[in-house]
Amino acid sequence: MASHRRLTLRSGSNRRRRRGRSPRWDASDSLSITGATMGKTVRRLVPIGAAIAAVNAIVPAAFADQGGGSGWEQTFTPPFHLAAGESCAFELQADVLYDHEITRVVETFPDGSPRVVDTQGSLGFRFTNVDSGESIRRDTSGTLRATIGEDGGVHFRFHGNGLAVIRVPNALTPPGVYVVSGNVDYLRHADGQREFTEVDGTLEDVCQTLD
């Protein structure tokens, strides 16, 4: 059985402050923003590559908020596959165990494309090291707000649990598949780099857990 290792950062002296640069949307950053809303965003910010990308993900949510002009729409997060060396040293398969998510556009740009997008709901994954056959299950349910900058950059704010995938090459935060828990700020910079800027909670790199 692989050891379960977590990186824990809490508010205070260990908190990393946000840099001045803005992130750019990437479908591999947050598996929670998918479906029609992500499609609109991606079409506007074509220099993209999610989802985690969305990523991703988030607080078990009742669908009572749907309808009634609230703007909430059902959305889904797909399973994903990462080749060896892409984020982990080994080949990784991520299968969706349950997915009950809703999303809405809170604010738009003058051209009508999304600027601020909220996603919430329950989402669970089974992560498998294809080489060894070992797998783990993780809950990534919570809430996520994505704020898209004029240059296409994106600031993600996680509350509860969530998921973020960082691929190589990335200099600011080591590549990995991160299950987040707590209040976490995550940036996709305009130059393509990604980083966690504020973490009041825990980050588990699934790549380390399954290695």
Pairing of strands 80-82, 114-129: unpaired
Q: Is residue 119 one of the residues assigned to a domain?
A: yes
pLDDT tens for each residue of 25-68: 333 555 444 333 444 443 333 332 333 333 333 333 333 344 44
Separation between Cα atoms, residue 91 and residue 130, nearest integer Å:
5
Separation between Cα atoms, residue 197 and residue 165, nearest integer Å:
15
Separation between Cα atoms, residue 197 and residue 207, nearest integer Å:
20
Contact 178, 201 (CB under 8 A): no
Whole-prediction pTM value?
Answer: 0.74
Q: Is residue 2 one of the residues assigned to a domain?
A: no
pLDDT tens for each residue of 94-124: 999 999 999 999 999 999 999 999 999 999 9
Q: Is residue 102 one of the residues assigned to a domain?
A: yes
Q: Is residue 46 one of the residues assigned to a domain?
A: yes
How many structural domains is the chain composed of? Answer: 1
Q: Is residue 196 one of the residues assigned to a domain?
A: yes
What domain range is 200 assigned to?
A: 7-11+21-209
Would you call 174 exposed, middle or buried from its count of C-beta atoms within 10 A (0-12, 13-18, 19+)?
A: middle
